[in-house]
Amino acid sequence: MAESRILDIRAILERLPHRYPFLLVDRILEFEDDKRIVGIKNVTFNEQFFQGHFPIKPVMPGVLIIEAMAQVGAILLIGAIPDRHNKLVYFTGIDGARFRKPVEPGDRLRIECTVLKLKSRFCKMKGEATVEGQLVAEAEFMSSLVEV
């Protein structure tokens, strides 16, 4: 049975080593241990990347949408590990990335990651990013748990 757990920014900062301007997760809405997670990235005009991508028509870079997916997935993977402060989750690969619609300032990016394969130090997930229910990006990505 799915357990709905909301993680605020303080709980996210406990689990991820990322900090501004590279932290791309604002909230976790729900997760099921070792199965799936749903996170939010509120996209604002103040994001640094909008200064150059593109000033006349700001669009969130696709690689940062994928990075946001990887960060949401990492929260799921590292969450249940007791000595998580001695571990990092490295992004190790990506397959089938597709970008369906631009993400713009003011959008609320909803990211859902589902575990496809999980071993002791390796995980493969499927990520989908939506804005107002419309699919904007998807990918399968791999990560590995490493000692700090």
53 is catalytic: yes
Phi/psi region, residue 136 (left: phi>0; alpha: psi -120 to 50; beta: rest), is alpha
SS3 36: strand
Tracing tokens 């369906």 back to the chain, one arrives at 100
Measured CA distances, 127 to 27, 68, 79 (Å): 16, 10, 18
53, 84, 87, 124: the catalytic one is 53
Q: Which residues, other chains included, contact 125 with Cβ-Cβ below 8 Å and sequence gap of 6+? A: 69, 73, 113, 114, 115, 116, 140, 141, 142, 143
* Nearest alpha-carbon partner for 145 in 93, 91, 94, 95: 91
Total residues found in the chain within this entry: 148
Residues taking part in catalysis: 53
